[in-house]
């Protein structure tokens, strides 16, 4: 039984970059990525901004050696998971017990959408290949096969907290001595299904989102994938480079308030942050940076902000929402932001919260607005909250 799960590798793809170095460069340039929809066939072209990964499916397929007609969600997953595994460079990987725990929210929905156009006209029509990998688990399975991570694989789907749950489930598989190495995180591509879904809820900002601003109007949808490679004590000792950090705390709590809305006092978020701190044995004042869930919706930011006040008052660490760069990547966001949290520790970074202007009236703190490097960052908290009241906080700590 390993007492700790270490982070040995990271990989990420989102609208601001196709790999880790491109993300770091985009953060330093303080350059957001939202723009007009180019890849979906939708009536919302030019009306709703989104944060698209800048590669088309055939380009992603070329990068990964996969066929171009599979789900974009799978292609994004493979790019980031492969980067993470290569980054970790674990010696004798094939002699270890390895697993893949991945998250997503709508599986191969982009292909199912194509299938359904023909299917609803005539139930004997529609190319079966397009619906074959509809299930969330298919996305995970294809990537695990390609990466050779086959001792254990599973898929988690808890809406926008999905991949944060995948990461700490991966850590627990190591702590319970089920596996030695787990690649964990999540993926989601933009689909018409989610675009229309969030649009019906009237929580999409028609402009670029402004998380934690008094005049925030909603979120921008994004897409991407983010993975960390978790390893046991034993494997950590065999690495050719030191692990980035460890996963020191985690908690999953439920808001139990409403299927989509957060409770006004942020009960679920409060319990998740408090639980993660307890797990890590840290005090609130030990946290050097919080990567907010910070979607930019009036409801989320108010509930999360209130919960942060309850946990951290009177001394607030620097906080920011990197969704102001990447948009909200839904089931991928916990994985993408876990990678940013790890990089904050490794490189001493605090990311800016773009477009912030006016502090929310109900909060005594406001997010960071400038990119800062050379900081001494020892403990980072990453928040991921989702529909169904699913709230998860992770804490990453320098070793």
Is residue 294 helix, strand or coil? Answer: coil
Q: From residue 179 to residue 198, what is the string marking binding to other proteins with x (rule CB under 8 A)? A: -------------xx--xx-
Which CB, 140 or 353, lies closer to other proteins? 140
252 binds other proteins (CB under 8 A): yes
Determine whether 258 is an active site residue: no
CA distances from 244 to 296, 310, 318, 339, 346 (A): 30, 30, 21, 10, 6
Choice among 23, 136, 328, 379 that is catalytic: 328
Q: Which is nearer to other proteins, 18 or 333 (CB)?
A: 333
How far, in Å, CA of 302 to CA of 310, rounded? 12
As a whole number of angstroms, the distance between CA 78 and CA 83 comes to: 8
Given the rule CB under 8 A, which of 155-163, 208-216, 283-291, 304-312 is the region that contacts other proteins?
A: 155-163
Which single residue is written with the structure tokens 């797990």?
279
* Distance, C-alpha 289 to centroid of its chain: 17
Among 54, 56, 59, 116, binds other proteins (CB under 8 A): 116
259 binds other proteins (CB under 8 A): yes
Total residues at the site for other proteins (CB under 8 A)? Answer: 63
Q: Which of 177, 37, 40 is nearest to 109 (CA)?
A: 40
Cα dihedral across residues 336, 338, 340, 343: positive or negative: negative
Residues of span 134-153 touching other proteins by CB under 8 A: 135-138, 140-141, 150-153
Tell me which residues in 284-343 interact with other proteins (CB under 8 A): none
- Indicate the helix (H) or strand (E) that contains 118: helix 109-119
Q: Catalytic residue, from 23, 136, 160, 209: name it.
A: 160
- CB of 177 vs other proteins, minimal distance in Å: 10
Q: What is the DSSP string of 68-89?
A: TTS-HHHHHHHHHHHHHHHHH-
Nearer to other proteins, 20 or 143 (CB): 143
| Alpha carbon separation from 73 to 9, 134, 239, 268 (Å, rounded) | 21, 11, 30, 28
Q: Which residue in 23, 72, 111, 175 binds other proteins (CB under 8 A)?
A: 175
**44 lies in the site for other proteins, by CB under 8 A:** yes
73 vs 188: CA distance, rounded Å: 5
Is residue 119 involved in binding other proteins (CB under 8 A)? yes
Applying CB under 8 A, the residues found at the interface with other proteins are: 42-44, 105, 107, 112-113, 116-117, 119-120, 123-124, 128, 131-132, 135-138, 140-141, 150-159, 165, 169, 172-173, 175-176, 178, 192-193, 196-197, 199-201, 252-260, 267-268, 271, 386-390
Q: Which residues are catalytic?
A: 160, 293, 328
């Amino acid at each position: 039984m390993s007492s700790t799960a270490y982070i040995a590798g990271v990989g990420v793809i989102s609208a601001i970059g196709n790999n880790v170095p491109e993300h770091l460069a985009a953060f330093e340039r303080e350059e957001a990525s939202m723009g007009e929809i180019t890849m979906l066939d939708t009536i919302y072209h030019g009306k709703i901004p989104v944060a698209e990964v800048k590669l088309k499916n055939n380009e992603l397929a070329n990068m990964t050696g996969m066929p171009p007609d599979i789900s974009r969600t799978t292609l994004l997953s493979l790019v980031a998971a492969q980067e993470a595994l290569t980054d970790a460079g674990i010696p004798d990987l094939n002699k270890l017990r390895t697993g893949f725990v991945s998250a997503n929210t709508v599986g191969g929905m982009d292909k199912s959408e194509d299938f359904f156009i023909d299917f609803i006209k005539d139930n004997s029509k529609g190319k079966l290949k397009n619906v074959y990998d509809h299930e969330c688990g298919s996305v995970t399975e294809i990537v695990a096969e390609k990466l050779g991570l086959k001792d254990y694989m599973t898929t988690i789907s808890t809406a926008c907290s999905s991949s944060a749950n995948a990461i700490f489930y991966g850590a627990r598989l190591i702590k319970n001595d089920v596996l030695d190495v787990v690649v964990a995180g999540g993926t989601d591509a933009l689909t018409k299904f989610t675009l229309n879904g969030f649009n019906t809820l009237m929580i999409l900002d028609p402009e670029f989102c402004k998380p934690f601003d008094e005049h925030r109007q909603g979120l921008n949808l994004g897409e991407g994938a983010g993975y960390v490679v978790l390893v046991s004590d034993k494997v950590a000792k065999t690495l050719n480079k030191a692990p980035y950090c460890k996963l020191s705390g985690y908690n999953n709590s439920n808001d139990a308030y409403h299927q989509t809305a957060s409770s006004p006092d942020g009960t679920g978020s409060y319990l998740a942050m408090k639980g993660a701190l307890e797990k890590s044995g840290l005090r609130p004042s030990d946290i050097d940076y919080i990567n907010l869930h910070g979607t930019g919706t009036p409801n989320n930011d108010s509930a999360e902000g209130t919960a942060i006040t309850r946990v951290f008052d009177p001394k607030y660490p620097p906080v920011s929402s990197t969704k102001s760069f990447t948009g909200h990547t839904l089931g991928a966001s916990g994985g993408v932001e876990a990678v940013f949290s790890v990089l904050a520790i490794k490189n001493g970074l605090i990311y800016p919260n773009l477009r912030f202007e006016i502090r929310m009236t109900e909060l005594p703190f406001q997010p960071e607005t400038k990119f800062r490097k050379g900081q001494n960052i020892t403990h980072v908290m990453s928040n991921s909250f989702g529909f169904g009241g699913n709230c998860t906080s992770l804490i990453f700590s320098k070793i």
